[in-house]
Structure 1
Amino acid sequence: MSEDITNPSPLSNQRICFYGAGAMAEAIVRGILKQNLIEAGNISMLNRSSEERLTFLQKEYGVQTILNGITQEQLLVHADIIVLAMKPKDAVTALEVLKSHLREEQLIVSVIAGLSIASIKQLTSEKQPVVRAMPNTSSTIGLGATGVSCSPDVTDSQLEAMKAIFQSIGYCTVVEETLQPAITGVSGSGPAYVYRFMEGMISGAQSLGLSYVEAKQLVAQTVLGAAEMVQITNEDPAELRRKVTSPNGTTEAALNVLGEFQFAEAIQAAVKRSADRSVELGAAIERSISQ
């Protein structure tokens, strides 16, 4: 791997251990390696039981696993950054196991929905630097949207390393932790809203005689083009909508129907319910810690 000496990666010489080896962990590893941010040998991946999964990841990406003859404890102890990527139901048990292997200077990065920084510190150490992140599923193709929050003890260099990790899989923004439910409601769950909208458009197209294949391609390109218009022109979506809505035209007629069904209100309510649910999940994790 060639590296720009004048502008080295914030992850240079760092060792990253992924505690959990599912689709999101794989997406982040793929992004890091695609951007040449770190050598594959400096990345390790752990999971609870699937040797087959670890074998695939080791062969596909060249990462370290326990199949290299290194123990889980050794991989955790020697890591500079530990990414928590297990299922929420396994988080408390995993953190209780992890606690005895941690050094206070190790950065903990969590991509577990609902798991607060305070909960992580409660299960590890009050002095542990912690980053909480909410990437979405589009991260698997490098087009993710991630909101990240940091504990006060995260250093400037750790912050830059964290940004590099999530920028390798798409857009990344740093927010106060109190805004994490909003991030979940908008970008975390957001792809599903768009897919549901696309399902409706495809069904509508089919009812007018288009084949499923034709409808799917037309809808996908329409959604992609609309998103690109927002990104490239930097115009407000409301302004772009007005520009394509002629008085008494076809688009206005369609938008009037959406208004009758309270389309905008439904989306707003969906975003809020997703955000509220993330708070509920976090509260459930906190209750499990106190039991």
Structure 2
Amino acid sequence: MGEALIAGIVAAGNVELDSIFASDTLVERVEVIGRQYGVRIGTDNIKAAAFADVVVLAVKPGLINNVLAQIRETLTENTLVISVAAGVTIGQLLNGLPTGAKIVRVMPNMPALVREGMSVLVGGPGVHDRDLDIAQGIFRAVGKTLVVEEHMIDAVTGVSGSGPAYVLLLIEALADGGVRMGLPRDIAITLATQTVRGTAHLQHQTGEHPARLKDRITSPGGTTSAAVHVLEKGGFRGLVSAAVEMATKRATELRSE
């Protein structure tokens, strides 16, 4: 996710390259990032934190405490700390940082890798609108942003965090159906992928409720009506809703483990 953010910010062209400092313990990794994007690089997190007004913690949850311990004494009261560590709450982050630290927690998703992500932000105590504007500006470089209360984050995980997996499963199932009906695999995947992509774009552009758009292409007694009937009879709608519920519950459980 860290590289995706750098790529998006660089492509947007709104920030000077020498104002971005990428830090990673893997020398080979940061050297590749430096060559590819032209940003500053290093392997010293303390140096990176001292350099920055905004620190983005794009690390795995299991590493977050170690990183916080490294940079804790380097941060100032004006430093904005943004964490994308999945499942790590603002309270947990504050425990590892100086009193009064400004924290923004972010839940991005996989399409951020192609600058079509959905990033949901939560501001911690002491975070002002200007801080959230800065954080949103960073993540708008890789897609859309929303600001919510922290109690919503587990449900966000169930919808947009895990959602790409549901959509990919739908694409796979659509393609499998096409293959079963005689289409070559590559053609079936192309049809399924573009259908999902185009439909999502249509709904986004029109702003219409999905049900209204669905009804517009579901002619009485037609092929789509017959197919939708099968999906409804098989519990498609309920299964998707149940999947969101299960992912939400699991996100809650993981925070307690």
Q: Same fold (TM over 0.5)?
A: yes
TM-score calculated relative to the size of structure 2: 0.96
Paired AA for residue 13 in structure 2: N
AA in 1 matched with 2:90: I
Correspondence 1:194-205 to 2 at 5 A: 194-205=167-178
- Give, in whole Å, the separation in 2 of the partners of 1:239 and 1:220: 22
Q: Which runs of 5+ in 2 are unaligned?
A: none
Residue 97 of structure 1 is matched in structure 2 by 70
* Structure 2 equivalent of residue 123 of structure 1: 96
Q: Is the CA contact (8 Å cut-off) linking 2:24 and 2:42 kept in structure 1?
A: no
| Structure-2 separation of matches of 1:130 and 1:108 | 5
Name the structure where helix makes up a greater proportion of residues: 2
The correspondence of residues 23-38 of structure 1 with structure 2, limited to 5 A, is 24-38=1-15
Corresponding residue SS for 1:145: strand
Q: Is residue 41 of structure 2 the alignment partner of residue 65 of structure 1?
A: yes
- Percent identity among equivalent residues? 35
Which residue of 2 is the match for residue 56 of structure 1?
Answer: 32
Residue in 2 aligned with 1:15? none
Q: Distance in 1 between matches of 2:90 and 2:190?
A: 42
CA contact (8 A) 1:113 1:278 kept: no
Runs of 4+ in 1 over 3 A off after TM superposition: none
Which one of the candidate residues 230, 249, 253 is aligned to 1:280?
253
SS at match of 2:22: strand
Asked if 1:188 corresponds to 2:161, the answer is: yes
* 1:35-87 Cα distance to aligned partner (Å, 9 max, x none): 12211111111123x211111001001111227xxx43222122111111111
CA contact (8 A) 1:99 1:124 kept: yes
**Counterpart Cα distance in 2 of 1:249 and 1:59:** 55
Distance 2:242 2:160 in 1: 15
How do 1:171-186 and structure 2 match up within 5 A?
171-186=144-159
Matched AA of 1:37:
N
Q: Which residue of 2 aligns with 1:77?
A: 50
Shift of 1:220: 1.1
Alignment of 1:148 with 2:113, yes or no, is no
**CA deviations over 1:235-284 (Å, ceiling 9, x no partner):** 10011111111222211111111122211111111111112222222223
Higher relative contact order (CA 8 A, sep 6+): 1
Q: Is the Cα contact below 8 Å between 2:45 and 2:67 reproduced in 1? A: no
Counterpart-to-counterpart distance in 2, 1:182 and 1:224: 23
**TM-score, normalised relative to structure 1:** 0.85
Across the aligned residues of Structure 1 and Structure 2, the Cα RMSD in angstroms comes to 1.3
Give, in whole Å, the separation in 2 of the partners of 1:139 and 1:189. 13
How many equivalent residue pairs? 257
Q: CA 1:72/1:97 → structure 2, altered by over 3 Å: closer, same or farther?
A: closer
Displacement, 1:155? 2.8
**1:139 aligned to 2:112?**
yes
Specify every segment of 5 or more residues in structure 1 that has no aligned partner in the other structure, as ranges: 1-23, 285-291
